[in-house]
Structure 1
Amino acid sequence: MVAMTQQRDYITREGWQALADELDYLWREKRPHVVRCLADAAAEGDRSENAEYIYRKKELREIDRRVRYLGRRVDELTAVARRSDNPGKIFFGAWVDVIDETDTAHRYRIVGADETDGPSGAISLHSPVARALLGRTVGDIVMVTLPAGERELEIQAIEY
């Protein structure tokens, strides 16, 4: 029988720290506050018609769900340090400036799936654009296949 290898998910150190900080905040500050509010609402009497009690129970369930998720994810993720041995190539964590075929400039940062953010330009390592850019250098022209069709990108700058 062949053992299956589990592929690790990657995240930048900053992204990992943000998840760990959120977990710590939820567990140490937010959850105890909601529990106190829930206890106060429960002390008011009839719980079946107590909107505050019902709301706080729901809020507590959502916090507990997020804490469980973050606890698992923080353990599963592999934090990757910035790569500095070859700053002329695109690797995980790089900021990349590109120009498309309509001369529109775009700036992307290649990050883990847990830290993607469209408005800031943070794209997943597994996205078509990131896969096309990885390992490339300034001046390279790459073709990216997207659901809307093919797109040509010229790499203008790389930053770490």
Structure 2
Amino acid sequence: MTIRVQTEDFDLSTEIAALRAENPKIGAVVAFVGTVRDLSEGENVEAMELEHYPGMTEKALEAIEREAKGRWPGSELLIVHRVGKLLPRDQIVLAAATSAHRHDAFDACSFVMDYLKTQAPFWKKETTPNGARWVDARVADDAALARWGITGTNAPADDKPGA
């Protein structure tokens, strides 16, 4: 399976080995692992909780995968996104792309992350010494997606679970 939403951690080496195992034409593998930072907006982060809508989230990730494969034919993709309570240094997301050539693999992986940051229905709540707060989409994330010719933003803040 190339798309998973899970609470469990993942092992980068195992995931990459499985992604490239069946295709001897792969000349490049590019992977991005996002982790929980211990600092956000000048405050220490004690924990991050990620929520999603099961079913809807997987469909959104499948759409990201289809779009990327359409742009970089022959690429294989892997998206693993964790949900639940995570602590600083915990892994959140793995996006990986394979291709015959490195430029396509880099572009496909970058595209997946830019698309995922703005279009996938995940909601992040950070817990700091001053309380909990929802993390809003950043203008820079929308600008990153726009470089691929796509516009759009996450759901408004009042559509977040628990808001």
TM-score, normalised to structure 2, is 0.24
More helix by share: 1
**Higher relative contact order (Cα pairs below 8 Å, separated by 6+ residues):** 2
